[in-house]
Amino acid sequence: MEKKNYHEINQYKDALFPVEIYRVNEKGMFPFGRGLRDFHWHDELQFTLAVHGSLTLQVDAGQYFLNEGEAAFINSGMIHAVTKLSKGGQYASLNFPYKLLSFFPGSRMEKEHVLPYVTGGCLPVVILRPETEWQKSALDLLQEINVMWDNDSAIQNEYLITTKIVALWYILISNLSEESKNTFSVDLVRRERLQLMLSFIYEHFSEDIALANIACIAHISIGECCRIFREHLQITPYQFLTEYRVRKSVELLSGELSISEIAGRCGYNQTSNYIAKFKSIMDCTPAQYRKHRK
């Protein structure tokens, strides 16, 4: 099965400067991509900064709480999502390919200071908090990059931004002890299976999906399917499917489709079942949500 949009392919404004900052709040994301509560993965490295308010970030099986001004590094290929965002909250995600740190392919810098950290799943996430001196230095650099982006000066300062990203990376890897490097152990085969199952759910959520269908796409038993979801996402496959269907229905509620039509498009044969699931997750009915939104 092909990994589609959920293995996110970042479309940079300028292919000659493959860096982007995605800004996300409760209303949406700019530029367009996979944002709040959407589990996804990509080849790029990512630094997510809590700009306003607080957030909860999930990376594989780990959950991390970030206060305003704190950030997290997320490694290449890790399944992740911001699962909670405080009211009025906003975060910014800096994405870039690891080749940006290598200077040129096959360099000593790439072999000694980049590839050992971005391959093999040994370093999935690092949390940056201002109480630790070296982490504060990293946060300061991240804030500087974010401000430059805010001021629309990125195009005039590609070289300066790139050097700041390299400096940010150097601070990160210079302050990781050997012990911390070896602390993280990720089952890469299980992660790949989860990626397949998530892609299947994302692509077929509007259809009648059984648990056996989800397990089959990864060529595993139903029991193993449930274990992978619980261990990596702390949720059952059915709960994940239900929450995803409700989130997709929220997007449709801004349009003119009837509640019953939206229910059908999101995989519910019975409107009453859809309304019950929506209310259990959103604490209101679809009609109440639509009325409030207007």
Domain borders along the chain are 20-181, 188-293
Q: How far, in Å, CA of 228 to CA of 187, rounded?
A: 10
Q: Is the pLDDT of residue 157 over 80?
A: yes
Name the helix (H) or strand (E) containing 158: helix 158-174
**CATH match for 188-293 among 1.20.1250.20, 1.10.10.60, 1.10.150.110, 1.20.150.20:** 1.10.10.60
Q: How far, in Å, CA of 115 to CA of 167, rounded?
A: 17
Express as a percent the part of the chain with pLDDT over 90: 53
Amino acid of residue 268: Y
**CATH match for 20-181 among 3.20.20.450, 3.40.640.10, 2.60.120.10, 3.30.565.10:** 2.60.120.10
Q: How far, in Å, CA of 232 to CA of 227, rounded?
A: 8
pLDDT band, residue 5 (cuts 50/70/90):
very low
Q: What is the DSSP letter of 14?
A: -
* Residue with more model confidence, 83 or 177: 83
